[in-house]
Chain A
Amino acid sequence: RKEVEQDPGPFNVPEGATVAFNCTYSNSASQSFFWYRQDCRKEPKLLMSVYSSGNEDGRFTAQLNRASQYISLLIRDSKLSDSATYLCVVTYNTDKLIFGTGTRLQVFP
């Protein structure tokens, strides 16, 4: 079983839709969780951290479920510019990160 698993997609959604991705992790000792965004042929960039209490940044909401060992990313009112691959990242110690393979989102007009 992979340490971090994501549905590769693609998720094809119309503008204005709400879409959610999940990411499961296998190590219960995981400490920190993040979502990165990667545009086509570009480098990954940090989108948001995921806190135990959940956190929201504009149209984006991230949540952590430690009991079921998954994190989620919810995007409301999708924009064309949200089209990208979303990478789930988990850490077991401060400096080493484990990346998921990413979920591809395509928002269409």
Chain B
Amino acid sequence: DVKVTQSSRYLVKRTGEKVFLECVQDMDHENMFWYRQDPGLGLRLIYFSYDVKMKEKGDIPEGYSVSREKKERFSLILESASTNQTSMYLCASSSRGEEKLFFGSGTQLSVL
């Protein structure tokens, strides 16, 4: 079975802190994605990557950056956390040409 692992299940940070969310997948998937999920807004795509060192902006990239130095790892960075970035963050991966997404269990981030 595909496993997508997110480093933290719950995270509490202060406004202005730099935050790193890590995601690792073990199925050699080319595609990786970061979403955030908020009540009433559903899942919104922040950034995605089709290959190592490649990244593409999703629908809401402002305030975020990403890093993909290795194929299996896709990191989401909040340069200076703000309260409106309090959310559930979900990482996902898929094979090239395949539409089925495999999700990690999510990180509930609270920014105080």
Residues of A within 8 A of B (CB): 8, 32, 34, 42-46, 87, 91, 94-97, 99-102
Q: Give the interface residue-count category, chain B.
A: 20 to 34
Contacts of B46 in A (CB 8 A): none
Contacts of A34 in B (CB 8 A): 99-100
Contact A99 B42 (CB under 8 A): yes
A42-B105, A43-B90 given as contacts; is B99 within 8 A of A91 (CB)? Answer: yes
| Chain B contact surface mostly | loop
Contacts of A100 in B (CB 8 A): 42
Contact A87 B42 (CB under 8 A): yes
Contacts of B41 in A (CB 8 A): 101
Contact A43 B99 (CB under 8 A): no
Contact A94 B43 (CB under 8 A): no
- Interface flags for B71-101 (1: CB within 8 Å of A; 0: not) read 0000000000000000000100010111111
| Chain A contact surface mostly | strand
Asked if B103 is an interface residue, CB under 8 A from chain A, the answer is yes
Within the assembled complex, what's the spacing in Å between the Cα atoms of A28 and B99?
A: 18
Within the assembled complex, what's the spacing in Å between the Cα atoms of A44 and B101?
A: 9
Within the assembled complex, what's the spacing in Å between the Cα atoms of A94 and B98?
A: 7
Contacts of A99 in B (CB 8 A): 35, 42-44
